Amino acid sequence: MTMLSERVSQSAFDGSRLRVVLLLDLHDGAQQRFLTAYEHMRNQVASVAGHVSDQLCQSIENPSQWLITSEWESAPPFLAWVNSEEHVETVRPLHDCVRDTRSLRFSVLRETGNFQATAEAARSGTGLQSAPRVGDGVVRHAITFTVKPGSEPVVADILASYTSPEPQVDSGTRLRRTSLFMHGNRVVRAIEVQGDLLAALRHVAQQPEVRAVEEAINPYLEQDRDLDDPNSARVFFTRAALPAVHHLATAGGEHATVKRHALYYPAKPGCGMALARLLAQQDEAAADDPSAPIDSSTIFQRDDIVVRLVDARGSLDSAPMIALGAQGPRKAAVLARLIDHDALGTNSSLTDEERMSRFLASADMRLITDRRA
């Protein structure tokens, strides 16, 4: 049992500036093609709202190793850009140049000497992360994709019956948990990794039992992919990525009665980030309520797809407002305005607990499998 002495949290919504570090290892002889592709990408990203600056660096020890750093006013504009279809197309020319990549994202907590940037950030309402956050050493990530309508029962059976891969990746990385849900023809797979997420994803992809499952569901996917083609697989998983934008755990430890749920919130066009931010704010506000049934919550968001993974004690219906992430009628009204009710098949009004309970039942995804290492 893991005891949490303090509130564990991570968030893309704290308003602090973001530093993005991209490590690249180039193929031999690809430097000039890489520079051409980078110039195109640099010109594209320079026009993106929220982008502040970037630098391209080459190793003085190994000329094949490169580093791109960029600064953003805050995390949300970067996430909107990196998860966009425009970004997928912009970075496509880099794929043939790069042997390996690693992306790291950091909130700016302290800085020395950059007084002009600090003053500009203060005027714009963004700046430094206010205080260090307490973590638990776990990285959370999800992917989502859709299958052909009518294939849902077959896909569910395939996904529920796979053999779990070896959880120990290396001396510092271990798979902790995989939770898989469906809502209609949408699949969401959430994973928790102790250590290096990229190493864990590569480890999982190489396991024959996992590869067999991926091949088995290929005929049912709405988006075609060829796992034998690295570019096809890369584009599929890039589009399927559902990053964690907020996580909060408040319990003193895991309860035996805790049950995992995934709630699906399709947002109106262009409202996905606002919806994720609202849910994050409401989870933070509810964290100090000892009667709240939520032990932890993780919000995943990409474009207008928002999924909230919650570990709850007892029935979600015992506190439907908190379970949904909307405390009080005013916040419920805001939530109702951001939701694409046609996509969810719900009423556009959340004016009473009965309607909230119906909304909760519609948003609650079907659990296919939940496995701990």
Sheet bearing 18-26, strands edge to edge: 51-58, 65-72, 18-26, 98-107
Q: For residues 155-165, b (16+ Cβ closer than 10 Å) or e, as one string? A: bbebbeebeeb
Model confidence at 5: pLDDT above 70: no
Cβ–Cβ < 8 Å for 350, 356: yes
Q: Which long-range contacts (CB under 8 A, 24 or more apart) does 270-276 make?
A: 270/304, 271/304, 271/338, 272/301, 272/302, 272/303, 272/304, 272/305, 272/306, 273/76, 273/79, 273/80, 273/301, 274/338, 275/301, 275/306, 275/335, 275/338, 275/339, 276/13, 276/245, 276/246, 276/301, 276/306
Cβ–Cβ < 8 Å for 20, 81: no
Give the number of other Cβ atoms within 10 Å of residue 149's Cβ: 10
**pLDDT tens digits, residue range 55-101?**
999 999 999 999 999 999 999 999 999 988 888 888 888 888 999 89
Model confidence at 54: pLDDT above 80: yes
Q: Which fold has domain 244-370?
A: Alpha-Beta Plaits (3.30.70)
244-370 shares the fold of 17-108: yes
Q: Which fold has domain 138-242?
A: Alpha-Beta Plaits (3.30.70)
Per-residue confidence band for 227, with pLDDT thresholds at 50, 70 and 90: confident
In this prediction the pTM is 0.90
Q: Does domain 17-108 have CATH number 3.30.1360.10?
A: no
Each domain of the chain, given as residue ranges in start order, spans 17-108, 138-242, 244-370
Residues 223, 235: Cα–Cα separation, whole Å: 10
Strand partners, 138: 194
Model confidence at 171: pLDDT above 50: yes
